[in-house]
Amino acid sequence: REGLIDTAVKTATSGYFQRCVTKGIESAVVAYDGSVRNDDGSILQFLYGGDGLDVSKTSLLHDMRFAAENYQGLIARHMPPAHQIGLLNGKLSKDTTLPPQYTNSPYTCMGAVSEAYTAKVTEFMSKASIKKDADTGIIAKKGQEHKFGRPTLSKNEFKALANLRYMRALVEPGESVGVVAAQGIGEPSTQMTLNTFHLAGHGAANVTLGIPRLREIVMTATRAPKSPLMTLYPPVGCKNPIQVLTKLGAALRRVPLASLVSRIGIEENVVMAGRQYKIRLTIPGFVDKLRDFGCTVDQVRKCVLGAFCVKLDQIISRSLHKARSSALDGAITAGVQMPDVSAEAEADSGDEEPVTEETPAKKAAVEDDEEAEEEEDEEEETGFKAEALELNAEDIIHQWCSHLSQDLKIQLARVQKHTFVSSISFSMAENGVDAIASVSAILGLNDKVLMAANAEAAARHVLVKEVPGISACYMMERPGEEACMQTSGCNLAAVFSLPGDLLDHNRIQTNHVAEVLRVFGAEAAFQAIVNEVSGVFGVYGIDVNERHLSLIADTMTHNGAYQGMSRLSMPTATLSPLLRASFETSTKFLFNAALFGEVDSMTSPAASIAFGALAKHGTGKFDLLQKLG
């Protein structure tokens, strides 16, 4: 059923994706200096794909054995006969390796080749034996003899041939590399399904894949991806990576109060002030629990005193309001006059005002105070408290049972004033291992709630410790691969604040392109886009040439920002009003262009076609002058 649905709907989605990419990059063309430029003349790449090679001419370029065995045909094909003698008999004036940033262009200087191609040529020549014997092989491996009956090449001649092949494989000026790149990722996208999520390994985080992920990266350039994640590695040379990653997970993991509490006991009594509920939260193996989850005693006490009490008060108020509304609706339906339950509740509960109009405002004030305190302690909560985890059991128990500090007393007084909570105490169980937090709440005599269920719900919702943006951590152990930690969510600032003995800061990976741009800059965002798009296609076994991906990534980041390929990004992506109008909402774009007096240089393909002019691509890139007279 899922496959049928995908077959029915994915064609339109992938087709629109390809159209958006095409309109966003169709103006990219190779100039005569070898650079890739947009319709306004801005440089997208100084060399197409980083090395200037045409994708369609690279299939046999790195096959050095083929070149050596067929060098005569290659020379005859690539060079006029008058120049062949000079190539074969010439000598290099100076054999030198220049740095990658050297300014010589491969279009004008033979021998200006990429580092990867140089490494291939050097490796082949080092493994081959060059022999000047007409009866031996052209290039034979050491210790082997091959008889081809053809003359052999010298090392200089072979290097000259390799440089010639590289120059002839360069992309031609005028090539519409933008449209080719759009087709290069648009057509393979039709082979992908619309299955949104995929588990990246056993027990790992959800990862958005397929067309939805491509739309996130390329079309919308979203600042809030659906499933951001980070991959963290232990330090290089770490002797016990599993133990280190376990500590790293404890430092980053989100810890709700419910994960520490194993048992919630409720005791109900009727006192002079009303109905009293005593909530007993038990944390078994308290010392070990704190160390396993990377929490401190202060964090747990603050959570119980603040967030837990406020959340419990909200849930109780909601339950009481719902119960009273149901009772009132039932009475109206039956035609029975009900007493004023709210008034009775106020009278029974003394000074407390659980359902008055002022209560939400008071609760909001409590929440604001809690948030302010949390913001003040944010650096402490997100940091890794190694010194706290190194405390012995006696110190931890003493901290738990000690009297409240002045800050906690102020917090308790605020909670007692604005919520149902009357008192809070911290103690240890009789076995001396389990920790107990007791919370007392007083309600009206007529107020009956399921306190156990409410306390469980509150414990699930409040957090003892969290790193903002990170919801979970997963240990990734795969055969033959280095163990790593994967997180659901992204917070590079928090990760960089961790000590270097927990992770390798130089190998942090994330799929959050916008965050990479903000922290590391445009060049890192460019590489992140290439890696992410390549990874999306790689899941389906689709190989997309990296030159296409690099051009798309450079187009999206060439102005220093992370810019998508959609209608909303068009006004800043191109200066051609007619190109923008040819995509979507033509009237709007034309109206704004006329209103602000924009000028179209007629260099984009859409503008040229709109007025019947020859596009400045391909053979239209140059003009022919007729000789007169």
- Domain boundary among the residues 434, 465, 496 is at 465
Same domain, 164 and 264: no
CATH number for the domain that contains residue 111: 1.10.357
Instruction: Write the DSSP assignment of 491-508 as a string of letters.
Output: -HHHHHTS-TTTS-GGG-
Q: Which of 98-102, 242-246, 354-358 has the highest mean pLDDT?
A: 242-246
Beta bridge partners of 436: 282, 427
Residue 267 lies in a domain: yes
- How confident is the model at residue 528, as a pLDDT? 93
Q: H/E element holding 2?
A: helix 2-25
Residue 474 lies in a domain: no
- Domain boundary among the residues 465, 484, 518 is at 465
Among 185, 40, 194, CA closest to 565 = 185
- How confident is the model at residue 173, as a pLDDT? 92
d(CA 465, CA 382): 8
Segment among 167-171, 278-282, 360-364, 464-468 with least mean pLDDT:
360-364
Residue 191 lies in a domain: no
- How confident is the model at residue 363, as a pLDDT? 46
Same domain, 414 and 313: yes
Neighbours of 557 (CB within 10 A): 24
| Band (86; pLDDT cuts 50, 70, 90) | low
| Band (626; pLDDT cuts 50, 70, 90) | confident
At residue 275, φ and ψ (nearest 5 deg) are: -95, 120
Which residue segment(s) compose the domain that 358 sits in?
260-465
Same domain, 264 and 160: no
- Provide the token pair at 516: 């990479």
Q: How far is CA 600 from the centre of its chain?
A: 37
| Band (29; pLDDT cuts 50, 70, 90) | very high
Same domain, 120 and 268: no
Residue 232 lies in a domain: no
Q: Which residues of 33-68 are buried (b: 16+ CB within 10 A; e: fewer)?
A: ebbbbbbeeeebbebbbbbbbbbeeeeebeebeebb
For residues 108-125, give the mean pLDDT: 84
d(CA 490, CA 231): 10
- How confident is the model at residue 81, as a pLDDT? 57
- Provide the token pair at 61: 């370029």
For residues 253-268, give the mean pLDDT: 87
Residue 326 lies in a domain: yes
Same domain, 285 and 400: yes
- How confident is the model at residue 360, as a pLDDT? 44
- How confident is the model at residue 361, as a pLDDT? 43
Residue predicted with more confidence, 146 or 119: 119
CATH number for the domain that contains residue 367: 3.30.70.2850
Cα→Cα distances 125→86, 130, 350, Å? 22, 8, 94
d(CA 535, CA 523): 18
Which stretches does DSSP call E strand in 136-253? 139-141, 197-199, 206-208, 229-232
The angle formed by the CA atoms of residues 465, 467 and 473, to the nearest 5 degrees, is: 95
For residues 386-412, give the mean pLDDT: 70
Beta bridge partners of 279: 266, 439
Instruction: Write the DSSP assignment of 105-118 as a string of letters.
Output: -TTTSTT---HHHH
Q: How far apart are the first and last CA of the chain?
A: 74
For residues 327-347, give the mean pLDDT: 50
- Provide the token pair at 448: 């009956």
CB 408 within 8 A of CB 302: yes
- How confident is the model at residue 237, as a pLDDT? 82
Tokens 């899922």 sit on residue: 2
Question: Residue 313: is its pLDDT beyond 70?
Answer: yes
d(CA 607, CA 615): 8
Residue 580 lies in a domain: no
Question: Residue 120: is its pLDDT beyond 90?
Answer: no
- How confident is the model at residue 80, as a pLDDT? 59
Q: Which residues of 483-522 are buried (b: 16+ CB within 10 A; e: fewer)?
A: ebbbbbbbbbebbeebeeebbeeeebebbbbbbbbebeeb
Segment among 234-238, 259-263, 358-362 with least mean pLDDT:
358-362
CB 25 within 8 A of CB 146: no
Among 143, 107, 139, CA closest to 124 = 139
For residues 458-470, give the mean pLDDT: 88
d(CA 590, CA 294): 59
| Band (525; pLDDT cuts 50, 70, 90) | very high
Beta bridge partners of 424: 439
Number of domains in the chain: 2
Cα→Cα distances 340→193, 328, 344, 446, 509, Å? 60, 9, 7, 12, 61
Q: How far is CA 217 from the centre of its chain?
A: 9
Q: What is the average pLDDT value for the chain, to the nearest integer?
A: 77
CB 527 within 8 A of CB 264: no
Neighbours of 126 (CB within 10 A): 7
Beta bridge partners of 282: 263, 436
Question: Residue 456: is its pLDDT beyond 70?
Answer: yes
Q: What is the dihedral of CA 340, 341, 344, 346, to 10 degrees?
A: -110
For residues 3-19, give the mean pLDDT: 72
Tokens 């021998």 sit on residue: 111
- How confident is the model at residue 30, as a pLDDT? 93
Segment among 229-233, 290-294, 327-331 with least mean pLDDT:
327-331
Tell the burial category of 231 from Cβ atoms under 10 Å away from its Cβ (0-12, 13-18, 19+): middle
- How confident is the model at residue 129, as a pLDDT? 54
d(CA 320, CA 420): 12
- Domain boundary among the residues 120, 140, 168 is at 168
Residue predicted with more confidence, 188 or 193: 188
Beta bridge partners of 487: 230, 473
Question: Residue 629: is its pLDDT beyond 80?
Answer: no
- How confident is the model at residue 327, as a pLDDT? 65
Residue 187 lies in a domain: no
Residue 310 lies in a domain: yes
Among 310, 306, 299, CA closest to 466 = 299
- How confident is the model at residue 373, as a pLDDT? 47
CB 189 within 8 A of CB 18: yes
Same domain, 284 and 433: yes
3-state secondary structure of 406: helix
- How confident is the model at residue 334, as a pLDDT? 52
- How confident is the model at residue 180, as a pLDDT? 92
